[in-house]
A and B are shown apart, each in its own frame.
Chain A
Amino acid sequence: MNDETLRRGLSEAAWGYFFLTFDLTIGAVNLLPRFAGYLVFLLAIRDLSGTRRDLAGLRPMASLLALWEAGQWLASWAGASLEGHIPLLDLVVAAAELYFAFQFLTDLAALAENLQGPEENLAGRLRGLRTANLLLSTACCLVSWVPEVALRDWAMAALLGFSLVGMVVAVILVVTLFQLRARVPDRELPQQNI
């Protein structure tokens, strides 16, 4: 693994979160589709798995999520949605999303341990963001499964609040990953050492 691959992998991870977080919808078409985020994550996994072995195990899950989000994106062209038709599938996807995000950030935090400067705590920040992201996603998921509650004003406000905080978390995450990329040293990293 060389520095260039590592830098590229971290950039791809940051851009992946960018695609997952932001929507730019014109008409019925989202120009920043979430499936593109997972495709970029797949590239990041390819580039970073040499340094962090656990990442390779996330490839099937990222592929599954990319496929689901691509289907979702195509359905949105027709004003439809894949969600809500087969609750079992919704739950499997929700579980995969939760796990993927947590594991991916855990691995990136482990990478950061080796890259950050002596006075920095990028790894700790990544782990904090990972935990916040997981708790927010879980809360949103649980509220959305309680229709009577989800329709209440306070629940709508809570969901909106979760989404806003989630967006702030994602923005900090993207910035942190770009900061991490800037810490990649100009030297060869040993393979499979973490």
Chain B
Amino acid sequence: MRDIWAFLLQTLTVSGAAVLILTVKRLFRDRLTPRWQAAVWLVLLIPLLLPARWNGNDVLFPWSLWVESLRTAWTGEFAGLVPVTAPIPLPPGHLPKTLRDWLFLLYLAGVAFFLLRDGAAYLSLRVLASRAEEGDSAAVKAVADRYGLPVRPVRAVRGLPSPFTVGVLRPMLVLPAEGETDEKVLLHELLHCRYHDMVWGLVLSVFRAIHWCNPLLRYCLDRAANDVEALCDQRVLERLEGEERRDYGRILLSMADDRHARCPGTSCIANGSRNIRRRIEAIVRFRLYPAGMGLVSVCLLLVLAVPMVIGVRATGLQTGLGADVAMASARTLRCGTRDGALDTYAGAVLHRNALLRAVCAPLEEQDSLADALEQSGSGTTEGDESWDPGIEAMPWTGYQVYNVEEVGNDVFDGLLVVQTAPSEEEYVPLAYQTVRVWQETGRWVVQARAPFVRVNSANSDFRTCPCPELPALAEYAGRFGDFVLRVRWQTRMVSTGSEADWNAGTWILHTDDTFRTDRAVRWQADYVGSPDRQREYTRLSARIQPQWDEGPYPDLAPVPRTEEGGGGGDNTGSDWVDRFLASDWESPILLGEGWHSTTREDVPVAYLARLAVNGDEEEQGILERMEGRELP
């Protein structure tokens, strides 16, 4: 936490968990034992120890949306997300300039004050105990031996209203010097030592200081400390019999009016009249708690704890509350996968929607998108027609993503392809744009790398047919006598989501199977020999097969030859053709093209090919990946 927004987000996140715990404690007050009532506070430790939105999710409530909206309303900034790097306050790293900086400084001062105050109180008690005379060690040893507990040093202090234990690493019992301390009280204090309850006191004290200006959390941390006392009471009662239990209750009652001060690293059997009343109620219920509840107690803790760790991912845009809130919800509504980001970007382009664009836009683009949203007056609507992607696409024809390729560690480039106008008689007007996808502070974001490029596709439907007019992801070529065999490789990803997903806002949850991936292979033979010899060629027999690893390469199977010719392929990507050429054939000769479903997005390192002309013996060779190289 390096600024006031981070603290606000952290303390609100913990507060939500605190409300949950108070609610379930109320629900199970008479049903589950003090052991569970104390253990359930461990659930609160999770949001106390984890930075808010550590995995991009909010806990129980959309706190980040509200904090981001408040931040934007106060500062006018849309870029950036409130970062909570640690659940504890850290120095801001710069001198205070704004009111927000001064507020954070005030908060830091409060934390320092409470830590110092508690530290001083602990030290003074520790000094008081170490300087005090030795107490009734024999009585303590007798109790410890009787109940099988470790013996602790004992000190006696004059004027002490009630006994207490002090020390985290080497705890000691501090007893009133006047009179004899009841052995049940000694048992209570020895059990605190046995279960290291003073450590909890210290932990709670630290968090009480960190969240000093949150009264709900201070109340909850006090309740947690009291529940540790109640748990200790239960441990005492489990070791006592009949009348001794009633005596223990009477002892607690007698301490109801004793003064007490909460101090870290200590535990005191007398902790205020209200708390003692609660503890006595728990003692009365001691025999009434249903037995055999251990398993369900653990399951309940698990069910409460897991959502504290995982959080809840936002699944919808908050429209209707103004541009600030809408943009804040877009920023916090992160895309969890690469495919989800591509899908969202395509939706933004098709619907010209600034809010969808903001969901998958880098933070640096958020300000300009907010301007676009405000200028369009769409701050309280779904956001359609509020952003200009540089192309007028036809939403109902959908989109495809071509040639996605990993260009760095979790950085991908690809082409977004959309249709721009109704199909003409001879062609389909398309446009494509190079985009890059990567992760920015836990969000997958998309950035346009170039403006849209318009092309006309000869195919009647770009959603079903390959478009050779679009760029290839890889090209391969190799020379065989008077022919050059060329292979053109494209991949495309087709969304498997539906319009219903869009309306339900579930697209951001899309996993890696958002898209179905196809590969398109178009292969042809270019004649590069002398025109004089061209008509000598009457038959071509060829086979190609992709190679995913470097050589050595295997021998390809011969091309099946029949009197009529033919062609075929298999699911390894191997294609073959045996073709009789017409007397007036022209170069290039298209040997095959089509989409095939695939599970891999990478491209082959090379192609193996066999080629024979006029029924002669086949020659095997390699088609190298060109990547701008000239054919050897």
The residues of B that contact A96 with a CB separation of less than 8 Å are 27
The residues of A that contact B60 with a CB separation of less than 8 Å are 87-88, 91
Counting CB contacts under 8 A, is A74 at the interface?
Answer: no
Within 8 A of A (CB), among B536-563: none
Q: Does B303 lie within 8 Å of A88, measured CB to CB?
A: no
Counting CB contacts under 8 A, is B302 at the interface?
Answer: yes
Q: Does A145 lie within 8 Å of B306, measured CB to CB?
A: yes
Within 8 A of A (CB), among B298-314: 299-300, 302-304, 306-307, 310, 312-313
CA distance A141 to B306 in the complex (A): 10
Within 8 A of B (CB), among A138-183: 138, 141-142, 145-148, 151-152
Find the A residue at minimum CB distance from B299: A138
Within 8 A of B (CB), among A107-137: 107, 131, 134-135
CA distance A85 to B208 in the complex (A): 31
Interface string of A91-112 (1 = CB under 8 A from B): 1101110110011001100000
The residues of B that contact A147 with a CB separation of less than 8 Å are 313, 509
Counting CB contacts under 8 A, is B95 at the interface?
Answer: no
Counting CB contacts under 8 A, is A4 at the interface?
Answer: no
Find the A residue at minimum CB distance from B20: A88
Total count of chain B residues near the partner, CB < 8 A? 30
The residues of B that contact A64 with a CB separation of less than 8 Å are 27
Total count of chain A residues near the partner, CB < 8 A? 29
CA distance A131 to B292 in the complex (A): 11
Find the B residue at minimum CB distance from A131: B295
Q: Which of A106, A147, A151 has the most CB of B within 10 A?
A: A147
Q: Does B300 lie within 8 Å of A103, measured CB to CB?
A: no
Q: Does B336 lie within 8 Å of A148, measured CB to CB?
A: yes
Q: Inter-chain contact count A-B, CB under 8 Å?
A: 81
CA distance A102 to B295 in the complex (A): 9
Q: Does B27 lie within 8 Å of A146, measured CB to CB?
A: no
The residues of B that contact A141 with a CB separation of less than 8 Å are 303
Find the B residue at minimum CB distance from A135: B299
Counting CB contacts under 8 A, is B296 at the interface?
Answer: yes
Q: Does B299 lie within 8 Å of A92, measured CB to CB?
A: no
Q: Does A99 lie within 8 Å of B31, measured CB to CB?
A: yes
Counting CB contacts under 8 A, is B511 at the interface?
Answer: yes
Known: A91-B20, A141-B303, A147-B509. A57 touches B296 (CB 8 A): no
Interface string of A52-69 (1 = CB under 8 A from B): 001001000100100000
Q: Does A106 lie within 8 Å of B290, measured CB to CB?
A: yes
CA distance A103 to B292 in the complex (A): 9
Q: Does B307 lie within 8 Å of A87, measured CB to CB?
A: yes
The residues of A that contact B300 with a CB separation of less than 8 Å are 95, 98-99
Find the A residue at minimum CB distance from B19: A88
Within 8 A of A (CB), among B245-304: 290, 292-293, 295-296, 299-300, 302-304
CA distance A95 to B313 in the complex (A): 21
Q: How far is the CB of B409 from chain A (nearest CB, A)?
A: 21
Within 8 A of A (CB), among B306-329: 306-307, 310, 312-313
CA distance A61 to B296 in the complex (A): 15
Counting CB contacts under 8 A, is B347 at the interface?
Answer: no
Q: Does A138 lie within 8 Å of B31, measured CB to CB?
A: no
A-B pairs, 5 with minimum CB distance: A102-B296, A138-B299, A88-B60, A54-B290, A87-B60
